[in-house]
Amino acid sequence: MKVVRRQWSVVSKSVLCFSLGAVLFALAAHAQQEAKVAKIGCLGFRSASDRSPGREAFKEEFRVLGHLEGKNIVIERRSAEGKLDRLPGLADELVRLKVDVIVAPSTPSALAAKNATKTIPIVFYDVSDPVAAGLVDSLPRPGGNITGITDIGAVLVGKRLELLKETMPKLSRVALLWNPQDAGSALQWKESQLAARELALQLYSMEVSRADKGS
C-alpha cells in the first residue's frame, strides 16, 4: 500500500479523506477483478453502540460517493466491546469471511488485523504512532498490506501540556485520562510523564478502559 500520512486535526470528514481514498482504492481493485458486491470488514475495539465521529463520517462519505450499504457494498461489523482479548478472534472471523478490505479505527484493532492477514488490505485511523506500535515500518514506507492516517498524538502531547502551562502559569497539577489497554494511549501517557517533569507539573493518572467507567 502507499504512504501513511501525518494528520494534525481531530477526527472529522476531512481527516478521513485519506482513509476513504485507501478503502475505495482497495474496492476499485476488487471491482476490476470481479463484478460483485464489495465486502468491507470493520473491526472496532470500542462498543458497537459508540457513534464516534469517525464512524459516522465514514458512513456519510460513502453515501456521498455512491457506495450504499446493501446495494453495492456490504459492511461486516465486528466489535470487541472494549475487551482486548476478543480482537484476535474477531479479526480472524473477518478474514474467514473473505472481506475485500479491513477498516481498523484504533491501534488495538489495527494490530489484530495485521496479525490476522498479510494479504487483505488494512486501512487504519485514530492511531497515535503506527511506527512505535509496530503497525508500519516507517511513515514514508509503511510496507506490507497496511496504510492509514495518524494523529501523531504522542508527539503533540508535550506541546499540549506546554500550552496549558502557558495559559495557566500557576498550574501545578494535571489529571490525564488514558486507556491502559490501548497502545497509542499508553504511549501518550509515557510521553506526558516526560513532558510533565520538564514543566514541573505533577501528573495524575486516571485509567479508563471503557466509557461507562468514566462516571
Contacts of 141 (CB under 8 A, 6+ apart): 3
Contact 152, 158 (CB under 8 A): no
pLDDT for residue 12 is more than 80:
no
Q: Give the pLDDT confidence score for residue 212 in this predicted structure.
A: 54
pTM of the model: 0.65
pLDDT digits (tens, 9 = 90+) for 35-80: 578 899 999 987 766 666 666 777 788 888 888 888 889 999 999 9
- CATH number for the domain running over 5-150: 3.40.50.2300
pLDDT digits (tens, 9 = 90+) for 114-132: 999 999 999 998 887 888 8
Cα dist. 62→56, 118, 183, 212 in Å? 10, 26, 29, 30
Q: Give the pLDDT confidence score for residue 155 in this predicted structure.
A: 67
Calpha distance 102→191 (Å, rounded): 30
CATH 3.40.50.2300 domain locations along the chain: 5-150, 153-209
Question: What percent of the chain stands above pLDDT 90?
Answer: 35
Question: What percent of the chain stands above pLDDT 70?
Answer: 75
pLDDT digits (tens, 9 = 90+) for 75-116: 999 999 888 899 999 999 999 999 999 999 888 999 999 999
Could you confirm whether domain 153-209 is CATH 2.70.98.60?
no
Q: Give the pLDDT confidence score for residue 45 in this predicted structure.
A: 87
Q: Give the pLDDT confidence score for residue 31 in this predicted structure.
A: 52
Residue 117, phi then psi, degrees to nearest 5: -150, 145
Q: Give the pLDDT confidence score for residue 64 in this predicted structure.
A: 86
Closest to 149 (Cα-Cα) out of 2, 17, 4, 44: 4
